């Protein structure tokens, strides 16, 4: 259930660039979901554009382009379920988002290309996603997008949450503490 929020200076993106960028970033989202180009995967793949006024975005204490490298200043906040990506996956997302911007703006790769495209990955604690007035677990999301629970990706997820459950149990957290897969909430506690 990843969401990308793209902050950009007002009037820095044409409607065509937004459309193309949204398509490229949706592809990144689907790859993040393990290749989930399914009805469920597409329904979860959300890209939001937020324009920021020129006088409201400062880099290096300035609002002009003094410290800005092509294709310009952008911030992409990627929200993902906690425990869904290892560091290799996160690094792939950083690179893929940057590549999407460089492609859309037709910027040739260089040591500074995309230096002002900041990408943050924010993990939403297990149990904090919701839709239809119900909590959606990472297991529910995996099922919705068609990610096999027996595959390597979900096995990594299970290992992550099993370790977290052991950590919670060792620290004496209450059994009904959030942040664990439903099946791990009572293990070891």
Residue 129's pLDDT band, with cuts at 50, 70 and 90, is confident
The lowest-confidence range among 7-11, 61-65, 77-81, 125-129 is 125-129
Closest CA to 156 of 34, 38, 4, 27: 34
* Claim to verify: residue 98 and residue 24 sit in the same structural domain: yes
pLDDT value at 186 more than 90? no
Query: Are residues 14 and 107 part of one domain?
Result: yes
pTM of the model: 0.86
Full domain range(s) for residue 169:
149-189
pLDDT at 188: 45
Mean pLDDT of 152-169: 88
Q: Taking CA 88 as the corner, what is the angle to CA 140 and CA 186, rounded to the nearest 5 degrees?
A: 40
Q: The domain that contains 45 carries what CATH number?
A: 3.30.429.10
- Same-domain pairing of 84 and 155: no
Task: Indicate if 36 and 70 belong to the same structural domain.
Answer: yes
Alpha carbon distance 42, 40 (integer Å): 6
Distance CA 116, CA 113 (A): 8
pLDDT confidence bin for 145, thresholds 50/70/90: confident
Top-confidence residue, 104 or 45 = 104
Asked if residue 65 and residue 103 are part of one domain, the reply reads yes
Same domain? For 95 and 179 the reply is no
**Are 107 and 178 in a shared domain?**
no
My answer on whether 154 and 120 are in the same domain is no
Total domains in the fold of the chain: 2
- Based on the fold, state whether residues 15 and 78 are members of the same structural domain: yes
Q: How far apart are CA 3 and CA 122, in angstroms?
A: 10
Is residue 18 within 8 Å of 49, Cβ to Cβ? yes
What are the Cα distances from residue 137, in Å, to 13, 163, 168?
35, 17, 18
Asked if residue 175 belongs to a domain, the reply is yes
Residue 132 domain flag: no
Residue 130 lies in a domain: no
User: What distance in Å separates the CA atoms of residue 181 and residue 37, rounded to the nearest whole number?
Assistant: 24
Phi, psi of 102 (to 5 degrees): -60, -40
% of the chain beyond a pLDDT of 70: 95
159 shares a domain with 95 = no
Across the chain, mean pLDDT equals 88
Q: Report the candidate in 136, 142, 172 with the shortest Cα–Cα distance to residue 155.
A: 142
Residues 184 and 120 in one domain: no
166: CB partners within 8 A, 6+ apart: 187, 188
Could you say which DSSP state residue 78 is in? E
Cα–Cα dist 36/161, whole Å: 22
């Amino acid at each position: 259930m990843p969401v990308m929020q793209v902050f950009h200076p007002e009037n820095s993106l044409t409607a065509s660039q937004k459309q193309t960028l949204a398509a490229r970033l949706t592809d990144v989202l689907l790859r993040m979901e393990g290749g989930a180009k399914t009805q469920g995967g597409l329904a979860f793949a959300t890209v939001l554009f937020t324009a920021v006024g020129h006088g409201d975005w400062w880099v290096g204490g300035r609002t002009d382009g003094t410290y800005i490298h092509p294709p310009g200043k952008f911030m992409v906040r990627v929200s993902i379920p906690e425990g869904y990506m290892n560091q290799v996956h996160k690094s792939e997302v950083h690179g893929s988002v940057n590549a999407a911007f460089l492609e859309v703006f037709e910027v040739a790769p260089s040591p500074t290309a995309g230096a002002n495209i900041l990408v943050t990955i924010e993990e939403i604690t297990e149990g904090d996603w919701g839709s239809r007035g119900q909590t959606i677990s990472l297991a529910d999301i995996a099922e919705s997008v068609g990610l096999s629970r027996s595959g390597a990706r979900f096995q990594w997820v299970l290992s992550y949450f099993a370790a977290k459950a052991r950590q919670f149990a060792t620290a004496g957290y209450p059994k009904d503490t959030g942040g664990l897969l439903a099946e791990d909430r009572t293990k070891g506690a």
